[in-house]
Amino acid sequence: MNTPRDNGVRITATGYQPYVAERTRRGVRRWQIVVGVVLLVVAGLLAFLFTARSVALDFSAPAEDVSVHGGLSFELGGVWLLLPGDYTIEAHADGYKPLNAAITVGPERNQRHSLTFIPLPGIVTITSEPAGASVFIDSEAVGATPLEAIDVESGSREVVLRLARYETQAQVLDVTGHRTKQELAVTLLPDWGDVTVSSDPSGARVLIDGNDSGIVTPGVVPVPSGEREIAVTLDGYRTARQRIVVAARQADTLPPFQLVQADAALRITSSPAGAGITVNGKYMGQTPLDLELSSGVSYRLEAYLRGHRKAAVTAVLARGESRPISFPLVREMGNVRIVVEPATARVTVNGRAVDIAAGPLSLPTEPQNIAISLDGYAGYTTTVTPRAGLTQSVKVRLLTVQEARLAQLKPEYANSAGQHMVLFKPSHVQLGASRREPGRRANEAIREIDLKRLFYVGKYETTNAQFRQFASGHDSGEFENNTLNKDLQPVVNVTWIDAARFCNWLSDNENLPRFYREQAGAITGINPDATGYRLPTEAEWAWLARHVADDKPQLRFPWGDAMPPPDRQGNYADRAASHIVAREIFQYNDNFVVTAPVGSFKPNHKGLYDIGGNVAEWINDWYAAGDQAGTDPLGPASGKFHVISGSSWMQGTVTDLRLAYRDYGTDARPDLGFRVARFAE
C-alpha cells in the first residue's frame, strides 16, 4: 500500500461560515417622489373639476385683465370654474372705471353673473353769453362760465345757469362719458324790460324800488321783471312814484312824471331810531328821515317800532317852513310767567339772569330769548314775544342728558339703501312655548329676556333691488318656473354670511362702526358695542313679533291665537301654491304662489310687514338648543348653525306657523331672506 506524500504541503482546518448574499440597499427614488406629487396634483385637480361650478361672467363692455379673488379659480374659454362661495371680480375696460364687484357662486352647476362697468366721466366745456354765470350740475355748484374741460359723470345731467338780471336757464345734458369731449353753449335771456321814463321838469334821478338806477330823466331804464316801484326825485320837488308790472324783454313807455315843487320840509327823528314813518297812511321810510311836502296841507304822521307804543302827530306846514319833529317812543311791556322743573334751574332772558320765583316778568313786547340750564340736564332755549295787557306762561321740564339723547333719536328714517328703519324701545319678552302648546318642538324651552337697548329695525324685509346695490350679480332665481327675482320681492337664496356682509356694507356707506368683524369675506366675530347694521337678535325678533303690551299675553300666531288665519292675512302655503308645496293651510288663500312684494299685506301690531310669512328670516344668533336668557342677549359665542325665525310662503303647519317656532341652518333657501337692524346708541 502506497502512502501519499505531502510534498512539504501542510493542510490546516478553518472555521465554517455559511454564505450570506449581499443585501441591496433600497430607498425612495426621486422619480417616485415626482410621480407621487403629480398624482396628488391630478387628484386635487380632478376633485376641483368635479366640485367646481361653471360660471359665465357677462360684462356690459368688453373686459380686459379679468381676475377672480376669493378662492381657487380656473378659466376655460371665457367660463370660470369656481367652488361655491363668495368672490370678488376685478376687471378693466377701455373708457370705463375699474370694476370691483362681489358675486356669490351658488350650488347650481351652470351659472351666469351680469357685471356692469361704469363709464369714465365725460369732459364737458360749458360757456354762456354773457359769461360769468354760476353753473350747477344736478344741484351741485361747479363754478362760473366759462368752464373748460371739467369732468362730469355719464348719464342725463341737469345743468342750471344763473346770472343776476338774466333768466335762469336749465337744460338736460346727456353726458356720453368714456372721456368723450362735449360742449354746451347757452345764451342767457335778459330778465328785464326797457322802460322809458321822463319827467317835467327833466333831470330827475330814477329809482327802482328805492335804489338809484344811475339814470336821469329822460332815459331808458332796464327794470327787472315783476312788480316794481318807479320813483323820480329832484331837489326842490316832491318825489313822484308809480308802481308798474314789467315783462322781461318788452319795452314800455311811462307817461311823463309831473313833479310838484316842494315848498316845505320835515326832519323826522325818533328815540330810539329806526322807527317806521307813515304820512297820511303811506309808508315813507325809517327815522331819521327827511321829507319834502306841500305847504298848507294837513299831514298825520305816525311812528311804529316793535316793542314800543305807536306815536302820532298832525302837522300843517307854512310855505318855506322846515320843521323838525321828534317821536319819543315808549316801550310797551307784557308779562311772562316762567315755571321750570327742577325749580333750581338757572333762567336767563337775553343773557341776563332773572328770578322767576318773584312772579311774572315784565318784558318789552319784542322777541325775548329765554335760556334754562342746570348741571346734569340738557339745556333749553326758546323765544317769546310778550303782548301788552296779557300774561303768557312758559312751562319747561328739563330732560336729563340721557332723556335728551333719546328724544333726539329719529323715530323713523330711510337708510342709504332706501330701507325704512323704525325705532323701538323694547321691554320684557318670553321666548319659547309651553309644553302643552300644540306643535311645540323640543328646542323651544321657555326663556325670560329683558331688552334694555333701543334699536332700529327694518319695516320691510330686504328686497332684491336693495340687495343688488351691494351684490349687483345676485339672482334670487325661481321656484317651479315662478320667479323669485323681481325688484320688490324679498331677496332669497342668500346665506347668513351674505346677509351679514350686506349689513357691513350698509354700515360703511353711513360711516357707522361695523357690527360684524370681517376678514377676507368671512365673518370672524362681532363688536357688541357697535351701532352699525346687523341682523335682529332672536330676542328682538320675538319681541317685535309676539309682544303686545307688558300686561297682556304674547301672540301665538302673527294674526292671533287660533288657526286658521283669515284670508290674505299673510303669505303662507295656500291654495295658490298647493301644486308646489308639501303642506298647505286648508281653504286659505293669499293669491301669491311664491314670494309676494314686500308690504303686500297689512303690518303687525308694531307696524312691521311680513313678520311671519313671505320669507323666513336669518337671525343674528348662533343656534343652540338651550340658549342663554338674561338682558340683551346676543346668542352663543360660536356655533355650527344660525337661528332662523318666522314662517314662509312654503310653510303651512301649526308647528311652523307659530311665532315660537325655531329653525336653524347654514345654507341658502328659496324661502329664506332677512331684514336689518341696528342699536340706536
Question: Of 32-41, 152-161, 309-318, where does mean pLDDT reach its minimum?
Answer: 32-41
Exposed/middle/buried for 20, CB within 10 Å: 0-12, 13-18, 19+? exposed
Could you tell me the pLDDT band of residue 4, with boundaries at 50, 70 and 90? Answer: very low
User: Would you say residue 92 has pLDDT above 50?
Assistant: yes
Question: Of 31-40, 316-325, 344-353, 672-681, where does mean pLDDT reach its minimum?
Answer: 31-40
**pLDDT reported for residue 295:** 84
Exposed/middle/buried for 266, CB within 10 Å: 0-12, 13-18, 19+? buried
User: Would you say residue 1 has pLDDT above 50?
Assistant: no
Contacts of 671 (CB under 8 A, 6+ apart): 492, 595, 615, 616, 648, 649, 650, 651
Closest CA to 654 of 594, 564, 560: 564
User: Would you say residue 438 has pLDDT above 60?
Assistant: yes
Q: How many CB atoms lie within 10 A of CB 653?
A: 17
pTM for the full model? 0.50
Q: What percent of the chain has pLDDT over 70?
A: 94
Q: Which residue intervals of 347-495 are DSSP H helices?
A: 401-407, 464-468
Please give the Cα distance from 585 to 651 (Å, whole number): 8
For the segment 220-235, the average pLDDT, to the nearest whole number, is: 91
Q: Which residue intervals of 213-278 are DSSP H helices?
A: none
**pLDDT reported for residue 52:** 83
User: Would you say residue 386 has pLDDT above 50?
Assistant: yes
Please give the Cα distance from 633 to 452 (Å, whole number): 10
Element holding 268 (H helix, E strand)? strand 264-271
Question: Of 47-51, 181-185, 383-387, 443-447, where does mean pLDDT reach its minimum?
Answer: 47-51
What residue ranges in 472-515 does DSSP mark as E strands?
Answer: 478-479, 482-483
650 grid coordinates: 312654503
Element holding 504 (H helix, E strand)? helix 496-509
Closest CA to 307 of 371, 383, 368: 368
Could you tell me the pLDDT band of residue 468, with boundaries at 50, 70 and 90? Answer: very high
For the segment 5-22, the average pLDDT, to the nearest whole number, is: 56
State in Å, rounded, how far the first CA of the chain is from the last one.
Answer: 131
Please give the Cα distance from 610 to 627 (Å, whole number): 25
Express each pLDDT in 294-310 by its tens digit.
888 899 999 999 889 89
Which conformational region is residue 591 in: left (phi greater than 0), alpha (psi within -120 to 50 degrees), or beta? left
Express each pLDDT in 39-59 by its tens digit.
776 666 666 667 888 889 888
Domains of the chain: 30-115 (2.60.40), 122-187 (2.60.40.10), 192-258 (2.60.40.1120), 264-328 (2.60.40.1120), 333-403 (2.60.40.1120), 409-681 (3.90.1580.10)
Please give the Cα distance from 638 to 517 (Å, whole number): 14
Closest CA to 115 of 55, 59, 69: 59
User: Would you say residue 32 has pLDDT above 70?
Assistant: yes
For the segment 241-258, the average pLDDT, to the nearest whole number, is: 92
**CA 38 → CA 28, 35, 73, 359, distances in Å?**
16, 5, 19, 98
Q: What percent of the chain has pLDDT over 90?
A: 61
User: Would you say residue 27 has pLDDT above 80?
Assistant: no
Could you tell me the pLDDT band of residue 18, with boundaries at 50, 70 and 90? Answer: low
Could you tell me the pLDDT band of residue 418, with boundaries at 50, 70 and 90? Answer: very high
- 363 CB-side CA count, 13 A: 27
Q: How many CB atoms lie within 10 A of CB 115?
A: 18
For the segment 620-624, the average pLDDT, to the nearest whole number, is: 93
Q: Give the full edge-to-edge strand order of the sheet including 420-424.
A: 412-414, 420-424, 455-458, 677-679
Could you tell me the pLDDT band of residue 24, with boundaries at 50, 70 and 90? Answer: very low
For the segment 156-168, the average pLDDT, to the nearest whole number, is: 91
Closest CA to 57 of 77, 42, 71: 77
User: Would you say residue 8 has pLDDT above 70?
Assistant: no
Exposed/middle/buried for 60, CB within 10 Å: 0-12, 13-18, 19+? middle
* Furthest C-alpha separation in the chain: 202
User: Would you say residue 12 has pLDDT above 80?
Assistant: no
Mean of the per-residue pLDDT values for the chain?
Answer: 89
